[in-house]
Amino acid sequence: MAGPKRLTQHDIAKLAGVSQATVSLVLNGAPAILARIPQETRERVQHIIDTTGYVADPIARRMAKGLNRILGVFTYEPAFPSEQADFFTPFLLGIEEEAEARNYDLLLLTGAGVGKERKIFADGNRLRIADGCLVLGREFDRFELERLVSGDYPFVAIGRREDAGGPVPYVGGDYSSGTRTLVENARALGHERLAYIGPSGPAESIADRWNGFAGALGNGIELALHVETSNRPAGETLDAISASGATAVFFVERADAVRVEALARDRGLSVPQDFSMVVLGSHIRAERSHVQFTSYEIPREEMGRQATAMLVRRIEGAAPIEQILLTCELVEGETLGLAKKRI
């Protein structure tokens, strides 16, 4: 037996006493176009849709808009190994939440090579299946970024990105301001000699932390030690800190702070009584600790949400280039205290 006849836009138009084009606009139109339709008309059409249980054909809607309603997600580092999970998972949660709210599906672009060969434009890539792409990673391939900027394919970077032959649409965290505030808090507690454990570049997220730190030096506060490389043996780092006379140590990578704090306890040292420790929000390498480090919270979920919303705006209209930095809220923690008086 044949099932009940599926309602069409033509049926809805007859019931509402409007044209089929008006029904289509109510269902698919951009906000600027919908504003041209009288509110009473929009409400009447929507009432008929609600009372009849009409469901638009998703394939027809996509064809009408010329969209697949799919957002691509590309990560320069693998997103799912356990050592990366703490870093990427909040971004992906925010992306998924916003995509669902905007009725888009997600396509994780995994067929793009591995390691340093992981490329957006790898041979056989399926980028164009998606209407646009979100790009994540600690460091981007500059040539690929320039190609995205110069092309017509909608994309948004998660994290501040520069030096691409043109402005890059992005949503990032304001690491520079957050880091500067932490240095100023250390100064207020009497710390005059600071150590910095971690690189100063070239990735923008790393450079921003260093610039915020270096910009807060002076006025009686100095850099006693800068160890450029991270992930070195904790004993070497702790020995260097002790020899430098630094009273507060700033770590780019949380995992390095965890190992140094654990070794300090083994040596009979106490944080923050003997020296203070501050973590600058990063934890690309997973490491567990019972200690709540003084730090700032990177709004990863919100970055994912806002980047997804920005990408949809770029896909659905001629949106201008937007560059947004979100505030990194301070985490008071328990590892920044009064400076130990030097004898």
State the pLDDT confidence band at 190, using cuts at 50, 70 and 90: very high
Q: What is the pLDDT of residue 33?
A: 67
Asked whether residue 169 falls in the same domain as residue 253, the answer is: no
Indicate the number of domains in the chain. Answer: 3
Are both 274 and 212 inside the same structural domain? Answer: yes
Q: Is 280 a member of any domain? A: yes
Residues 290 and 191 placed together within one structural domain of the fold: yes
* Segment 132-173, tens digit of pLDDT: 999 998 888 889 999 999 988 999 999 999 878 899 999 999
Percent of the chain with pLDDT over 70: 85
Mean pLDDT across 26-36: 70
Residue 54 CA to residue 49 CA, distance in Å, equals 5
User: Which of 137, 138, 105, 143 is CA-nearest to residue 121?
Assistant: 143
CA distance 113 to 124: 10
Q: Give me the pLDDT at residue 60, please.
A: 53
The model's pLDDT over 280-338, given as tens digits with 9 standing for 90+, comes to 986 655 566 789 999 999 999 999 999 999 999 999 887 789 999 999 999 999 999 99
Q: Which pLDDT value is given to residue 184?
A: 96
Confidence class for position 208, pLDDT limits 50, 70, 90: very high
For residue 310, the domain's CATH number is 3.40.50.2300
- Whether residue 156 contacts residue 94, with contact meaning beta carbons closer than 8 Å, is answered with no
pLDDT band for position 65 (cuts 50, 70, 90): low
* Mean pLDDT to the nearest integer, 211-221: 93
What is the model's pLDDT at position 34?
Answer: 73
Say if residue 305 is in the same domain as residue 169: yes
* pLDDT at site 96: 96
The stretch 253-282 carries a mean pLDDT of 93
Q: What is the pTM of this model?
A: 0.77
Whether the bond into 272 is cis, omega within 30 of 0: yes
Domain that holds residue 97: 70-173+300-327
Q: Average per-residue pLDDT in the chain? A: 86
Report yes or no on 107 lying in a domain.
yes
* pLDDT tier for residue 6 given thresholds of 50, 70 and 90: low
**Cross-strand pairs, 227:** 197
pLDDT band at 3 (very low <50, low <70, confident <90, very high): very low
23 lies in the same domain as 84: no
Mean pLDDT check: name the lowest of 79-83, 111-115, 339-343. 111-115
- Looking at residue 100, its pLDDT comes to 95
Residue 57 reports pLDDT greater than 70: no
Are 152 and 230 found together in one domain? Answer: no
Interhelix angle 9-16/20-28, nearest 10 degrees = 110
pLDDT above 90 coverage of the chain, percent: 55
- Within this chain, do residues 179 and 294 fall inside the same structural domain, yes or no? yes
Whether residue 84 is predicted with pLDDT greater than 80 in this model: the reply is no
- Regarding whether 85 and 42 lie in a shared domain, the answer is no
pLDDT, residue 52, reads: 78
Average the pLDDT over each of 14-18, 57-61, 68-72, 186-190 and give the range with the smallest value: 57-61
Q: Is the pLDDT of residue 75 over 50?
A: yes
Q: What angle, rounded to 10 degrees, do the helices at 234-244 and 254-266 form?
A: 80
Q: Are residues 143 and 113 in the same domain?
A: yes
Confidence of residue 11 (pLDDT cuts 50, 70, 90): confident
Could you tell me if residue 283 is inside a domain? yes
Please determine, for residue 98, whether its predicted confidence score (pLDDT) is greater than 60.
yes
pLDDT at 82: 58
Per-residue pLDDT for 219 more than 80? yes
Q: According to the 3-state scheme, what is the secondary structure of the chain?
A: CCCCCCCCHHHHHHHHCCCHHHHHHHHHCCHHHHCCCCHHHHHHHHHHHHHHCCCCCHHHHHHHHCCCCEEEEEECCCCCCHHHHHHHHHHHHHHHHHHHHCCCEEEECCCCCCHHHCCCCCCCCCHHHCCEEEEECCCCCHHHHHHHHHCCCCEEEECCCCCCCCCCCEEEECHHHHHHHHHHHHHHCCCCEEEEECCCCCCHHHHHHHHHHHHCCECCEEEEEEECCCCCCHHHHHHHHHHHCCCEEEEEEHHHHHHHHHHHHHCCCCCCCCCEEEEEEECCCCCCCCCCCEEEECCHHHHHHHHHHHHHHHHHCCCCCCEEEECCEEECCCCCCCCCCCC
